[in-house]
Structure 1
Amino acid sequence: MKLKMLGAGLSFAAGLLAAAAAGAQEPGITDKSIKIGMFGPLSGPNMAYGFDVINAAKMYYDKINKEGGIHGRKIEYVVEDDRCNANDLVAAVKKLVEQEQVFMLNGGSCSAAVVAAKDYVVRNKVPFLMLNASGDGALYPPTDYIFGAFSISQYAVGGAMIEFAAKQFGAKTIGYINHDDAYGAWNLEGSKADAQTNGVKLAVESINPTINDVTAPFLKLRAANPDVLLLVTYARPAALLIKKAAELGFNKPIILSVTGTASLSQLVENVGKDALKNFYIQEVMVDAPGGAKLKPIYDMYEAAYPDLAAKPDHPQTYMPYGIPPAMSLVKALQDAGPNPTREKVLAALKTQDFDSGVMAGRVKFGPTDRAANRSTIFVKYDGATMTPLPGVYSSRWTYQAK
């Protein structure tokens, strides 16, 4: 009798465990919601890289929720400020994963900072889609958990600029200024590959992002007599270099990478319109900021944030960048089916290939590529008018396992 009772008790306990397991959900998933962890610079000197980008992603998620959600579930997002700082970003990611128990992550606007979260994300097997950070150091070599560069891979930034300079201006010698950090090394590697392909000679100067006097590096590049000058820097050193070029009478084409264009109005204020007579901006969207092809995004922003839209500095240049990663996340959840797991979402991401209608190139991942976009257009800018030039330019750099 005792043995029978013990057996019955064990069977009942096993049944309870099985029932609990069957009903268990992965973190952040309920019958009615999917919790997403978002983060970016919402304060500090680099907030222009992320504030409106996060707003754009949020308004896209709100749109999906109004349309019924994903397989009956609404997206719930929790947002943290990473201040474009590696320590703050890792702290934000840990809080979202451990305290908020999010299902997946969608964040990061600053490449150097976002790479710091790589080990934690991979160790905890959390699906992570970056916002507008390139984050090449977290994308290469590829992992099963991190996807990014929806704006563009840093390897591709420099390479696409080289292709444009060679084809648009017939440049044979190109002056090239990048940063002396990992971010600068990534875009320089892609640039060297495309320079070789296009038969172009590079004259390179690498500067610290916090540089205050750019006279010496600029004079060294001018001595190389370049046909075109490429600035692959953040906004502050870019403004210093453009202003210095005007002061020293440099009148050849200057091409600024997409990472240096956080606020065009601020750029004009810093350098003056006379410094922008032969000036071109790299852009990863299908049109210039505010252009006709992007009007639906700007209309959506104005409807979602009327108070912000009334301000002269909003939306900021990078605002539309928040849409493609949000689209990617939604599509992966839809493709994962009515019973999503992290592994199902990751499998869906690895084969994604779609046109966002926002970026110059398709959002496309592959077996060894976690960078969504490598294509750009270029815009002539005179301080008042942006004129998109025909053609889409892409880097030919490809990842090779070492």
Structure 2
Amino acid sequence: MKLSKSFVVALAATVVAFGASAQGEPGLTDKTIKIGMFGPLSGNSMAYGFDVINAAKMYYDKVNKEGGVNGRKIELVVEDDRCNANDLLAAVKKLTEQDKVFLLNGGSCSGPVVGAREYVERVQVPLVMLNASGDGALYPPSKYIYGAFSISQRAVGGSMVQFAVEHLKAKKIGYINHDDAYGGWNLEAAEFQAKKVGADLQVQSINPNITDVTAPMLKIRAANPDVLVITTYARPVSLLVKKAQELGWNKPIVIAVNGTADLKQLVENVGNKDAFKNVYLQEVMLDVPGGAKLQWVYDMYKDYYPELAAKPGYPQTYMPYGIPSAMTVVNALKAAGPQLTREKFLDALSKTKFDSKVMAGPIELTPTDHAGQKSAIYLKFDGENKTPVPGSYRSAWVYQPK
């Protein structure tokens, strides 16, 4: 068949445009997209990121086996940030300047991720966090940064207040948070939610390194709330639950996802299972870890990492969190089309909405809110067994420019 001259010229122009687009963008060719990943792969905080990255990697590999994204295969470059601000920034710089990735998909620890915001904005590289809440990098919204695919810290606080009022019928809530930025974020939304539902919040803000929680617990007891909500890190949680039992506390205690990474260690640190007679745990996935609704994730992990899955302690607690983040990246890359640019990718990110089949609520991103997930479920925990409470509970807090 003879092609017309005009058709040949048009086809050539399309090919040239496609090639020029690929060549003009870092980490992009007509056959590959290079993504830079980072998280704590070693050190004391390894539990927050090692298997989260493994989950994202297996999802990207699945996408590649199914043909890639708009004709391109995904290439990964992975760095260890050890959950340390300096190491994370060094990893981000290496991936951006030396490896020249198209986008960054990393960050399991909020503080270090927040510290990289200025650099990310300056070099204008898209950053899609892994499982860090990263409120300080998400609010006010940055054109280049999206995250909180597990849950934002603000949503942690808002959801817990909603659960306390709606399910536990609390009118007065004791609320213990940290006196740092992390604690301030969840308290801001908790106060917003409490005002919205007409609840009285009795707050005690404690230092993350506290060793004696007697004073704050005595103040909480004196306030006589209906429920105690704890949004601290893991170590203070064990001190607070133990002290609550010593003081004869028998009302519900609700523990945020921040403090539940190692429940076996929590129970050991408290030292008495009776302290867990009326305890609830916040969970940001749609089911108990390993539950029927999440079985596909755990089966996938066993297929990809059979030797690792056979070891005690694996998969790690937060493993499934890596899936929604990788899904978000892939969905936005697909929506951006074959003529891919960072600008098109960022625009597609800002219009993202889907059900990950992993988290408690939908992943939803807008031009004015870059935090992906705002819901949680709750589990009754007796020190050994976890029983889901029906329903999910969503934070109502919305960012308002000042």
TM-score by length of 2: 0.93
Query: Match of 1:250?
Result: 249
Separation in structure 2 between the aligned mates of residue 113 and residue 106 of structure 1, nearest angstrom? 14
Name which of structure 1's ranges 258-267 and 350-359 shifts more when overlaid on structure 2.
258-267
Separation in structure 1 between the aligned mates of residue 22 and residue 120 of structure 2, nearest angstrom? 26
Separation in structure 2 between the aligned mates of residue 356 and residue 323 of structure 1, nearest angstrom? 8
Deviation at 1:31, TM superposition (A): 2.5
**Could you list the runs of 5+ residues in structure 2 that have no partner in the other structure?**
1-16
Contact in 2 for aligned 1:177/1:205 (Cα 8 Å): yes
SS at match of 2:251: coil
Deviation at 1:202, TM superposition (A): 1.1
Contact in 2 for aligned 1:253/1:278 (Cα 8 Å): yes
Name which of structure 1's ranges 68-77 and 147-156 shifts more when overlaid on structure 2.
68-77
**Where do residues 37-48 of structure 1 align in structure 2 (5 Å cutoff)?**
37-48=36-47
Structure 1 pair 20/48, CA: closer, same or farther in 2 (3 Å)? closer
Separation in structure 2 between the aligned mates of residue 19 and residue 381 of structure 1, nearest angstrom? 55
Separation in structure 1 between the aligned mates of residue 22 and residue 336 of structure 2, nearest angstrom? 18
Counterpart code for 1:349? L
Query: Match of 1:5?
Result: none
Separation in structure 1 between the aligned mates of residue 376 and residue 167 of structure 2, nearest angstrom? 14
Structure 1 pair 83/397, CA: closer, same or farther in 2 (3 Å)? same
Query: Match of 1:73?
Result: 72
Separation in structure 2 between the aligned mates of residue 38 and residue 208 of structure 1, nearest angstrom? 32
Counterpart code for 2:379? V
Deviation at 1:245, TM superposition (A): 1.5
1:313-355, CA deviations, whole angstroms, 9 ceiling, x for partnerless residues?
A: 1112211111001000011111111221111100110101111
Separation in structure 2 between the aligned mates of residue 22 and residue 234 of structure 1, nearest angstrom? 46
Query: Match of 2:228?
Result: 229
Query: Match of 1:12?
Result: none
Query: Match of 2:61?
Result: 62
Separation in structure 2 between the aligned mates of residue 208 and residue 92 of structure 1, nearest angstrom? 30
Counterpart code for 2:191? K
Deviation at 1:32, TM superposition (A): 2.3
Query: Match of 1:194?
Result: 193
Separation in structure 1 between the aligned mates of residue 134 and residue 67 of structure 2, nearest angstrom? 33
Counterpart code for 1:179? H
Separation in structure 2 between the aligned mates of residue 341 and residue 19 of structure 1, nearest angstrom? 11
Contact in 2 for aligned 1:283/1:378 (Cα 8 Å): yes
**Where do residues 111-260 of structure 1 align in structure 2 (5 Å cutoff)?**
111-260=110-259
Aligned residues: 386
Separation in structure 1 between the aligned mates of residue 178 and residue 239 of structure 2, nearest angstrom? 14
Counterpart code for 1:314? Y
Contact in 1 for aligned 2:18/2:339 (Cα 8 Å): no
Separation in structure 2 between the aligned mates of residue 46 and residue 226 of structure 1, nearest angstrom? 34
Query: Match of 1:347?
Result: 347
Contact in 1 for aligned 2:35/2:74 (Cα 8 Å): yes
Separation in structure 2 between the aligned mates of residue 317 and residue 399 of structure 1, nearest angstrom? 30
Deviation at 1:21, TM superposition (A): 5.5
Contact in 1 for aligned 2:21/2:339 (Cα 8 Å): no
% identical equivalent positions: 68
Deviation at 1:246, TM superposition (A): 2.0
Deviation at 1:20, TM superposition (A): 9.3
Residues 1:309 and 2:309 are matched in the alignment: yes
Name which of structure 1's ranges 120-129 and 44-53 shifts more when overlaid on structure 2.
44-53
Separation in structure 2 between the aligned mates of residue 46 and residue 24 of structure 1, nearest angstrom? 38
Deviation at 1:103, TM superposition (A): 0.6
Counterpart code for 1:295? Q
1:153-179, CA deviations, whole angstroms, 9 ceiling, x for partnerless residues?
A: 111110110010011121111111111
TM-score by length of 1: 0.93
Query: Match of 2:3?
Result: none
Contact in 1 for aligned 2:22/2:340 (Cα 8 Å): no
Considering only aligned residues, what root-mean-square deviation do their CA atoms show, in Å? 1.7
Counterpart code for 1:191? A
**Where do residues 347-386 of structure 1 align in structure 2 (5 Å cutoff)?**
347-386=347-386
Structure 1 pair 222/103, CA: closer, same or farther in 2 (3 Å)? same
